[in-house]
Chain A
Amino acid sequence: MNYTFQFGVVLARWPEFLEGAWVTVQLALAGFWLGAPFGLFFAWVRTSGPKWAKIIVGIYVIFITNIPVLIQVWFLYFGLPDAGILFDKYTCVTLALVVATSAYSCEIMRAGFLSVHRAEIEAAETLGFSRLHTVWYVVVPHIVRTIYPALANYFIVMTLSTSMAMIVGINELTGAALNIASENYRNLESVAIAAVLYIIITFAMSLSLALVGRWAFRVKARIF
Chain B
Amino acid sequence: MESFLNQIPAFFSAGNVTLLAEAVGVTIALTFFGCLVGFTSAFLIVMARQTPGRWAIPLRGAAILFVELFRRVPFLVTSYLVLFSIVIVIKNPSLFIVGLVSIAIYATAFTSDIIRGGFESIPRQQIEAAQTLNFGRWRTMLYVVIPQSWPVILPPLIIFMVAFVKDTSLVGYIGVFELAFRGKELNNQGFSGIFVYGFIALIYFCLSFPLMRFGYWLEKRLATSRGQESQRELR
Contacts and interface: CB of A to CB of B under 8 A. Distances in A.
Interface string A65-99: 01111111011001111110000000000000000
A71 B183 contact: yes
Instruction: Say what secondary structure dominates the interface of chain A.
Output: helix
Instruction: Say what secondary structure dominates the interface of chain B.
Output: helix
B194 A79 contact: yes
A102 B183 CA distance: 26
Nearest to A202: B72
B202 to A, nearest CB: 8
A163 interface: yes
B183 to A, nearest CB: 7
B212 interface: yes
Contacts of A78: 184, 187, 193, 197
Interface of A: 1, 3, 62-63, 66-72, 74-75, 78-83, 156, 160-164, 166-167, 174, 177-178, 187-188, 191-192, 194-195, 198-199, 202-203, 224
B130 to A, nearest CB: 29
Contact of A75 (B64, B81, B197): B197
A160 B204 contact: no
Contacts of A80: 193-194
A70 B169 contact: yes
Contact of B76 (A63, A163, A202): A163
Nearest to A191: B80
Q: Top 6 closest A-B pairs, CB basis?
A: A79-B193, A163-B74, A68-B169, A188-B84, A68-B166, A75-B197
Contacts of B214: none
A191 B77 contact: yes
Interface string B153-169: 00000000010001101
Given A67-B205, A195-B73, A195-B77, 10 more contacts: A66-B162, A66-B166, A67-B201, A71-B197, A78-B193, A79-B196, A79-B197, A82-B193, A188-B88, A191-B81
A1 B88 contact: yes
Interface in B157-197: 162, 166-167, 169-170, 173, 180, 183-184, 187, 192-194, 196-197
A3 B201 CA distance: 41
Contact of B204 (A67, A166, A199): A67
A164 B64 CA distance: 27
Contacts of B66: none
Contact of A187 (B72, B74, B84, B193): B84
Interface size classification for chain B: 35 or more
Contacts of B84: 187-188, 191
A71 B187 CA distance: 12
22 contacts: A1-B88, A1-B89, A3-B88, A66-B208, A67-B166, A67-B204, A67-B205, A68-B167, A70-B180, A71-B197, A74-B183, A82-B4, A83-B1, A162-B74, A163-B77, A174-B74, A187-B87, A188-B85, A188-B88, A191-B84, A195-B81, A224-B64
A63 B205 contact: yes
B198 interface: yes
B49 to A, nearest CB: 12
A174 B162 CA distance: 24
Contacts of B192: 79, 82
A82 B3 CA distance: 10
A166 B196 contact: no
Contacts of B88: 1, 3, 188
B200 interface: yes
